[in-house]
Amino acid sequence: MSRKRIRATVHGRVQRVAFRECTRQEASRLGVSGWVRNQSDGTVLVLCEGEASRVDVLLAWLSIGSPYAMVTRVDWHEEEPLGETGPLVIRYGA
């Protein structure tokens, strides 16, 4: 099983639309670890790690987001996997 870790910045109307909670739920469904938090510039930052194919599915989901979100773009880059496990959590504060 190949692991993958990404850091993604989600742009658009992604705050105050349940984006973080929906991201947490989707990551839980996929078995992906990490965290999600709002940024002071109005974007949402996601750091996630897990089986590569599942991280890819979450990355594709981020381009759509929660039902009330309007994602305009997702910038992301891959990082070295650290072997983190556990649920994806919501972090507070920018």
The residues carrying an active-site annotation are 20, 38
Angle of CA points 10, 62, 83, to nearest 5°:
95
Residue 19 · residue 67 · CB < 8 Å: no
Output the CA–CA distances (angstroms, integers) from residue 52 to 21, 31, 33, 92, 94, in the order listed: 22, 11, 12, 26, 27
State the number of CA atoms in the 13 A half-sphere of 72 facing the CB: 7
In this structure, what DSSP letter does residue 86 have?
S
